[in-house]
Structure 1
Amino acid sequence: MRKKRSSSATVEKAGLLAVEKACNDHDLIWRDLLQEDVGVDGTIEVCLGDFPTGKIIGAQVKSGMSYVNGDRPDQFKFYARPADLEYWLQLSIHLFLFVYHPKDDEVYWHHVTNYVPDDEGQTSPSTHIVISKSNKVDEAFASYLATLFALEVYDASRLKLLSDEMAETTITVGHGAAAVTISALDLFVGGLWGLCSKVQFHASILLQRIRKHVIVRGMDAPIAYTFSRGDIYPFIVKYIRLLTDHGLAKIDIDDVNDSLYRKMEQPTFIAPLTTNGRALVEFLRMRGHADVHDNQYFTLSLTPAVQIEVYASFDESKGKEGFGPYTDVFAIRFNQFLDYYDIHHIGRAESDGSTQVRASQIMYFNEMTEYLDRTMGGIPKSQVLLRYLDHPCTPLISWLEDWYADEKQPFHIDDLAQKTNSDQIGFHDEIVSIMSGVGTMTAQEPPLPDFPIRILFNGEIISCDTTIVSGH
């Protein structure tokens, strides 16, 4: 019986040869890994003309139509084994997946290290990777690698195309006259920090951009801006991909995915800008973009946000005196830069009427709103009193406005134009840190009011031992 050559061996070899040839055509050095292959087939070194740079990426090559799923003229899906994907994401070098498409006779690539699943509304990270057919191993790929390692600085024409793309990547939130459109460029300039050397992202940046649009309109407005996972996550992923694809900031993708799929939260980060990130800032500044400046003061303080008071009964005809005895008080503090909430739940004991602390812990936004909805879901809204202690255009207050009533009551423009507690405390921290350095001021903790508010709306007084200690 004659020995038969494996049919897959020819296809696999064709893929490796195609990647090697494409690298040679574009001043990239391809090196096979001739020893044990456990998920990386070779490496590629970036060159500038005839000069190698020492910047190396890992390459995993797959060949054949068995790796091409849902083939379309513009893209296809590659399904990775979970163990392979986990290994690729743990590598200390950037890993690129190359798929040789026999029918197209083309090699397509995907930057696996910057992989963020893009399934709308999905609750766990998928193992399929959408590969765009525009990603060929060509001059654009070589340029991408140069940008990745800050070897190529974008010129004015590239920066113009990039800023236009960011401006055109948008999401519209709210409805009717209250609708506001936010762009990826809005998020970028709204998140500049550290003398424009870093970019930050947290949920409040979205609300801050909405707040600015509302203030410019100069009219009283209802707060009805809530963000469902299916609506907002695809936009956030597109924004993060713009930052990573163009190498604008050094973002920890593992942390982003952890937030998206383990914590089920919007990601939060402060990332240093790269050479091209700083070039974009300067380009926008030279083009007269009014928002390109540090517009936030950073603080780690947890500041009072909302006190929710729940009463056993309410008689509307008696006004303030119509509230019966309290049953629950939720005192919630917030840090917008870290996107977490300190919730202090106080309740009246059924046995003797004494005050009990039923919960006191740090929660992320979705966890907290689920807790509030579960705890207060069966209570008539007329027996719930919301005491807002912060700017109304924050994630929590926006959620409460949506949860509390079908018909939104507008906030006065003066309330909408005020600064948030975090802004005010951050300004205090900034001034103290500057002035104390020259010996003109003694550094101290920012003054925060006692919280929760001990005198409830119905006149009852909750005991002193329920007070939350202020500070960082």
Structure 2
Amino acid sequence: MKLPQVSNNYFTERAGVLAVAAQLNRTDLIFRETPNADVGIDGQIELVSNGKTPGRLAAAQIKSGLSYFNDRGDHWAFYPEEKHRMYWEAFPLPVYLFLHNPESSLTYYTDVRYQLNIPSKERENCYISVPKTNRLDLVASEELMLSVGPVSSTLLEYPELLKVMASKHSGNASFPITYLDLFCNGLTNLCRHIYFGISLAAEIAEIYLGINKSEVGLGVGPDEHHFLHNYTRFLIAQNLVKIDYSDYLIDWFEREIQPEYIAPLLLRGRNLITYIHDVEKGICKDSSFVSVACERPMRMLIGLPSDMVRIPKIKTFGERLLSTSTDLY
């Protein structure tokens, strides 16, 4: 009498899934294995930061077995099937590929969607590079989950949040902008989205320099680029916007340019705009009816104020925020 058989490959694959699940659990990450219809994703990873879940997710694809380990010196080469390559490339979350070696019990990882979306590399019939330094047993949870975006241990209340944005300055007299300048001037799509790019930052700085008749010209170097990078990280960490950070990092790391994006504001971001309107009424009695938190197309439609008027107005608003000794609303 014949009995049902289980292939050795089944146990090899399960060894990989169980090893990854155990290691993620040890680093205080939540792993949810796909219960059915696995078509290229074996599970979901959720970041836990200081015991809290900030809503940062990634997908996991786990491959177990020596056949997946093609040695290329400092990295392993993984050759995906075309159907999986297309599936991972279009997936809405970062996709982490885990290669598990059942003999050494070591697991290596990479963000496979990140690699597949690098525009400067031709990925047809090419392999995914999995660095040998990317060992799952040696990485901390937030380092592993870099692609899902930065998190903050504390979401600031709106009064403190607004003052922090007004105080975060580039520190360069030839690049006189703050987080508040970038936020208020980046609002678009009836204040439902925010725009960011180096052109926006440069335009704000040039208007300030022109108004102040500065003897120095616009200056943008590595420090200023990191200031702008940290602005985006601040928006994400404070749950103000929804940005595909993995895609953002392709420009920042691979192309070495300042990323540009239009991103939807989350509820906290939209509430911050409402809060700015309320505070503005209290500390800017001489303010016109057009708020500092109002997008450019709307201002152009009604005819005022121009950027030459409004950008300094944002600066004045920020200065009054920082100088007031009373609690904000």
TM-score, normalised to structure 1's length? Answer: 0.36
**Structure exhibiting the larger radius of gyration computed from Cα positions:** 1
Higher fraction of helix:
2
Higher fraction of strand:
1
Higher relative contact order (CA 8 A, sep 6+): 2
